[in-house]
Amino acid sequence: MMKPTIILLLLCLPLLTAAQTDGEYLVFENVQLTPDPAHITEFETGLAAHNKKYHGEGAYAARTYLIANGPRSASYLWVMGPFPWSSLDDRPAQPEGHDADWNENVHAYLMDGGEASYLKFNADLSHFPKDFTLNKLLVDFYDIKRFKSRDALELIKPIQQVMKEKFPDDAYGIYTNEFPSTKEGLDLAYISFFEKSAWLGEDPDFAAKYDEVHGEGSFEQFLTDWEAVTVGGQTELWTFLPELSGVSGEVPAAERQ
């Protein structure tokens, strides 16, 4: 399994995905929610009911995660999808009471601020070898230099080869921000899915395995190349909250290919 410090050197919203639909690629809508500490119970109750009523299936299915560390720690992440862009034209809104329910039972208990983003799933660079149930996620975000996005994605290809050969049972996804910002720097995400926190303390000796696959000294060259296309990054731990979600944490591998 990949060690967190190694992932930070490689690359990195709630997230999973499915195959493309009718030629359209799929995205996830990720919204940071920070409740008023005095009203967390009301917020959780309202969010759970809202998701169960309006986001329990299909393109509008939603899952909720708790962010455990970093600048956004103690915030929740609401993740809808995957869906093609065209489906947003028919998303629940005022006629179905969706917006009023959200405003009265969720938004009313939120602090000011928060972020929203749309992450595109890159199936050709990801690896979902088997079905699994969501539990914990290690999310590495990377700030990609201007005009270097294509180069960064090319550098992920040899990483994918190492993962498939040396860590065949590990599930991870590659996601790119549809509306990147030079200010936020959350341009590319590498999301690892794992079950036990003990995984975070394991040392898989990734550098040595990379050299075994690509040749002696190749990992050092990768680091040089990766430094040339990135500015920096940040890592977050997310925990899936099934009780606050509209759908379960079951992830069929066949839908991620």
Tokens of 3: 């060690």
Torsions phi, psi of 185, nearest 5? 75, 15
Q: Domain 4-256 class? A: alpha beta
Tell me what pLDDT residue 166 has.
Answer: 98
* Pairwise CA distance, residues 20 & 255, whole Å: 9
- Count of beta carbons in the 10 Å neighbourhood of residue 214: 16
Tell me what pLDDT residue 257 has.
Answer: 66
Torsions phi, psi of 95, nearest 5? -60, -30
Question: What is the full DSSP assignment across 76-141?
Answer: EEEEEEEE-GGGGGG---GGGTHHHHHHHHTGGGBPS---EEEEEE-GGG-B--S-EE--EEEEEE
Burial degree of 120 (CB within 10 A; 0-12, 13-18, 19+): middle
Residue 211 per-residue DSSP state: H
Q: Sign (positive/negative) of CA torsion 109, 111, 112, 118?
A: negative
Q: Indicate the pTM of the whole model.
A: 0.88
Tell me what pLDDT residue 17 has.
Answer: 35
pLDDT average per 10 residues of sequence, the chain (257 residues):
37 36 82 97 98 92 97 95 89 76 96 91 95 97 96 98 97 96 92 97 96 98 98 97 97 74
* Pairwise CA distance, residues 40 & 74, whole Å: 11
Alpha-carbon Rg of the chain, whole angstroms?
18
Q: DSSP 3-state assignment of 171? A: strand
Largest distance between two CA atoms of the chain? 62
With beta carbons less than 8 A apart as the criterion, state whether 240 and 137 touch.
Answer: yes
Kindly give, in sequence order, each residue whose CB lies less than 8 Å from that of residue 161, ignoring residues fewer than 6 positions away.
Answer: 213, 214
* Pairwise CA distance, residues 65 & 76, whole Å: 6
* Pairwise CA distance, residues 45 & 40, whole Å: 8
